[in-house]
């Protein structure tokens, strides 16, 4: 178990060219600090709606996209940070 600075590293990616670099930086940090990596695939639903509005996605694809998107969970609590 890592007792160092970074126990877990969250790496959000959306498959944009810049997210590849973020992914590689996150992996380097994880190796250096022996951290656990949590990979999060981010989807901008507004972009999907724009593609669908332009007719660039088939109606069946739009339905499939919306079925696979998980709604956000409950809001995070507010206040000072705590130790996990």
CA distances from 1 to 5, 6, 8, 38, 40 (A): 12, 11, 11, 15, 22
Determine if the pTM surpasses 0.75. no
Whether the pLDDT of residue 58 is over 90: the answer is: no
Question: What residues have CB less than 8 Å from 30, skipping those under 6 apart?
Answer: 6, 9, 36, 37
pLDDT at 46: 73
Whether the pLDDT of residue 38 is over 80: the answer is: yes
Which sequence spans correspond to the domains of the chain? 8-68
| Runs of H (alpha helix) within the chain | 17-33, 45-53, 59-68
CA distances from 28 to 9, 16, 49 (A): 10, 19, 35
């Amino acid at each position: 178990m890592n007792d160092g600075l970074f126990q877990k590293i969250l790496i959000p990616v959306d498959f944009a060219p810049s997210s590849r670099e973020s992914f590689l930086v996150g992996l380097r940090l994880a190796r250096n600090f022996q951290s656990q990596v949590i990979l999060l695939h981010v989807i901008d639903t507004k972009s999907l709606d724009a593609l669908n509005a332009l007719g660039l996605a088939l109606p069946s694809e739009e339905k499939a996209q919306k079925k696979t998107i998980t709604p956000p969970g409950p809001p995070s609590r507010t206040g000072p940070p705590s130790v996990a």
